[in-house]
Amino acid sequence: MRILLLGSGGREHALAWKIAASPLCAALISAPGNPGMAALGRCVPVDVMDNQAVVALAKAERIDFVVVGPDNPLANGVVDALEAAGIKAFGPSGAAAQLEASKGFTKDLCAEYGIPTGRYRRFTDAAAAKAYAATHPVPVVIKADGLALGKGVVIAPTEKDAVAEIDLMFGGAFGVAGRSIVIEEFLHGEEVSVFALSDGTDALFFGTAQDHKRVGDGDEGPNTGGMGAYSPAAIVTPALIDDIMARIIRPTVAAMAARGTPFKGVLYAGLILTAEGPKLIEYNARFGDPEAQVLMPRLTSDLVPILMAAAEGRLAGVEAHWSDETALTVVMAAKGYPGAVEKGSLIAGLEAAEAAGAIVFQAGTARNADGALTANGGRVLNVTALGASVTEARARAYAAVERIDWPEGFCRRDIGWRAIERERR
């Protein structure tokens, strides 16, 4: 089978690594890809937001199956365009991707179908939003409705902060994403990510993980796309997984089908484990980044037939098998991230890091005119290792980090700290 993978980040390198290992994969083409993905198959430049360009590429390359990595092309309807051209693709339609692309859409769906989530109200008017915020207990969560590169969520510690944030959002700080906002109850508890595949009707549990969204050790500093992750998240017990599948994931899949927009693809539920049980804070309609980098090394089943089954409505009875080991990934970012970063600094030592037992997934990397590997973005490398415990996986990952020669990069030093504290007890 000839497979086309859309995207160019660490998530896509991890998916490419797993897809290329499948006996069903005769050729993998990544678009646009990155230097890490180039080692697994050809990379072809394409604007993933240009649906017709993607369809043309898939036709020219005689592609049998397309896997979409990032959220924006999904919301832009790339799967609809591919399917209309008769090309099979893994990922939701543009209508179903609303689960990620509109926070208000998802909150309304939860309310209608009794899916556990925080109390909320939607606003399209600043004055009404401020009046509501004034009566709301703090902290209060203010969210831009649309996709805002992970930046459209603020936890306001005081009413004054809430008002300032409402003004910022309606003032256009997040463009059209902030024309409509959600004001939401702050949920207390630990945050976990739960993944499930859906074919529109059935759902298959597809792993747990815990991300580290703040840039600094001890979860300090600004939010990022994610500075490291591990899987499984042991705090999510088998009983909790059953509960989450029964009360959150399956009702969502049923609701989307009932609305005439069945969800096919990966449902990534961001949850808070509250004293009253798990509650949904958001859905993503794609794999997490860096969560895919810890799920893929643990998946012992062939990924390709599972993704095909989800795309073709044949998920019932399909099983996914996972290693008992823990995977942990440390994100190495360019200094300055999540703010402005400089591109072009030289990176060396990847072979030495892999010789130390890690897998290095590449994210924002490029090759310069001399063919040397350079930094080309905020999050640059994902140094990933497996171990019998989080403690062991973390020791291996950081031992590999030490072998990477990139003075312009940095990483958090405490990935997995919550789980490691629990393992020490």
**Stretch touching ligand AMP by CB under 6 A, among 180-188, 224-232, 248-256, 297-305:** 180-188
Nearest approach in angstroms of CB 153 to ligand AMP is 4
Verify binding: residue 12, ligand GLY, rule CB under 6 A. no
Verify binding: residue 141, ligand AMP, rule CB under 6 A. yes
Are the C-beta atoms of residues 208 and 193 closer than 8 Å to each other?
Answer: yes
Verify binding: residue 291, ligand GLY, rule CB under 6 A. yes
**Cα dihedral across residues 11, 16, 18, 24: positive or negative:** positive
Q: How far is 85 from 358, CA to CA, in rounded Å?
A: 40
Q: How far is 165 from 140, CA to CA, in rounded Å?
A: 11
Verify binding: residue 199, ligand GLY, rule CB under 6 A. no
Structure token pair of residue 286: 């794609």
Kindly give the pairing relationship between strand 27-32 and strand 2-7. Answer: parallel
Q: Which amino acid is at 29?
A: I
Nearer CB in complex with ligand GLY: 55/244: 244
The angle subtended at Cα 70 by Cα 411 and Cα 141, nearest 5°, is 70
**Cα dihedral across residues 262, 267, 272, 273: positive or negative:** positive
Q: How far is 321 from 299, CA to CA, in rounded Å?
A: 6
Verify binding: residue 145, ligand GLY, rule CB under 6 A. no
Q: Which helix (H) or strand (E) holds 89?
A: strand 88-90
CB-side exposure of 134: number of CA atoms within 13 Å? 6
Which has the closest alpha carbon to 183: 214, 157, 162?
A: 162
Q: How far is 420 from 228, CA to CA, in rounded Å?
A: 14
Q: Facing residues of 231 across strands?
A: 327
**Stretch touching ligand GLY by CB under 6 A, among 47-55, 181-189, 285-293, 351-359:** 285-293
- Residue 277's binding partner among ligand GLY, ligand AMP, none (Cβ under 5 to 8 angstroms by kind) is none
Total residues binding ligand GLY (CB under 6 A)? 7
Verify binding: residue 417, ligand AMP, rule CB under 6 A. no
Interface map 363-402 toward ligand AMP (x if CB under 6 A)? ----------------------------------------
**Stretch touching ligand AMP by CB under 6 A, among 173-181, 185-193, 225-233, 403-411:** 185-193
Which has the closest alpha carbon to 54: 39, 34, 76?
A: 76
Q: How far is 42 from 408, CA to CA, in rounded Å?
A: 29
Nearer CB in complex with ligand AMP: 146/387: 146
Q: Who contacts 387 (Cβ-Cβ below 8 Å, separation ≥6)?
A: 325, 326, 328, 393, 394, 395, 396
Residue in 105, 113, 186, 417 binding ligand AMP, rule: CB under 6 A: 186
Nearest approach in angstroms of CB 276 to ligand AMP is 13
Verify binding: residue 100, ligand GLY, rule CB under 6 A. no
Q: Which residue's CB comes closest to ligand GLY?
A: 226
Nearest approach in angstroms of CB 238 to ligand AMP is 24
- Residue 331's binding partner among ligand AMP, ligand GLY, none (Cβ under 5 to 8 angstroms by kind) is none
Verify binding: residue 153, ligand AMP, rule CB under 6 A. yes
**Stretch touching ligand GLY by CB under 6 A, among 250-258, 281-289, 325-333, 385-393:** 281-289
Residues 280-319 that bind ligand AMP (CB under 6 A): 281-282
Q: Where are the alpha helices (DSSP H) in 208-268?
A: 238-244, 250-258
User: Which residues are near ligand AMP by CB under 6 A?
Assistant: 118, 141, 150, 153, 155, 184-187, 191, 213, 270, 272, 281-282
User: Which residues are near ligand GLY by CB under 6 A?
Assistant: 211, 225-226, 284, 288-289, 291
